[in-house]
Amino acid sequence: MSDADMGTIAPLDVNKGVSKPPGAGLPECRNILGVNVCVHSKPSALARIAKLIATNTHAKICFLNAHGANLAWVDEGYADLLSKFEVLSDGIGVDVGSLINYGKSFPANLNGTDFIPALLAYLGAGKTIALLGAEPGIAKKAIQNLQKRYPQHEFTAISHGYFSNTEETAILDGLKQSRPDILLVALGNPVQEKWIAENCNAENCKIAIGVGAYFDFAAGKVPRAPKLLRMLRLEWVYRLWLEPGRMWRRYVIGNPLFVVRSIWQKLGRGRNR
């Protein structure tokens, strides 16, 4: 890979530790392949979102794993788009990137599959939660399970993820009327982040969160990895075993590539923001 491919921005000064993104009250961040990732413990991340909802403050939230960081590395437009989000650390990959560039891992693994249920349990009763995305029928099935587990909230399935432009207009009109406290968007990345950035604002939801495959897990369509693998932070191995045809490029090629790119970032060859 050439220097042009790697980028030529000045080296990251790891001695400065973390940086503050623009805007009052935002948490500290660490730069992972050009994306500012919030330095949160699980309690601080939960409290942050609860405060945003309580103060009627609109925010866009997403989770960055090694795959998403790789996408941001090769697509500067996507990296720029993520600057509109409060980005949470997801998985062992971004911890490796943080260790390489900052000498320490993130305080917590805030992957969406575990964080969204924790958020629903943490929030006070009476929140409105809208689900958008995944295959037809999956969001409704997910809601059946979520409503049983979190009866204190109101869940609504807005649409599956294969809507037309005409249907999208109706979806946005409906969101503007209902303005849910939280809109969960499951379109896969980078599509879901691009959709949220283009379409979500203070008029149609308080908090918009890109959640990837979470609906599939919540609906019971895709099983979680055994608890031991999750504790060891090796759930990606289980997903690779379940879906090798779809996941091999992301993990077998993507994970080593992420490490190489993190080293290049350390050496000043990568995108630092």
Tell me the pLDDT of the chain averaged across its residues: 88
Within-domain flag for 11: no
Within-domain flag for 170: yes
Within-domain flag for 15: no
Within-domain flag for 179: yes
Residues 175 and 214 in one domain: yes
Residues 214 and 265 in one domain: no
pLDDT tens by residue, 216-257? 999 999 877 778 777 777 777 777 777 787 777 877 888 999
Within-domain flag for 19: no
Q: Average pLDDT in the 191-198 region? A: 97
In the chain, the number of structural domains is 2
Q: Average pLDDT in the 181-186 region? A: 98
At residue 2 the predicted structure's pLDDT band, cuts being 50, 70 and 90, is very low
Tokens of 264: 């290049």
Residues 93 and 134 in one domain: no
At residue 272 the predicted structure's pLDDT band, cuts being 50, 70 and 90, is low
* Domain span at 252: 24-110+247-273
Residues 155 and 182 in one domain: yes
Stated pTM of the model:
0.86
At residue 215 the predicted structure's pLDDT band, cuts being 50, 70 and 90, is very high
CATH number, domain with residue 196: 3.40.50
pLDDT tens by residue, 20-76? 443 446 679 999 999 999 999 999 999 999 999 999 999 999 999 999 999 999 999
Nearest to 192 by CA among 204, 210, 174: 210
Residues 106 and 131 in one domain: no
> What's the confidence (pLDDT) of residue 14?
33
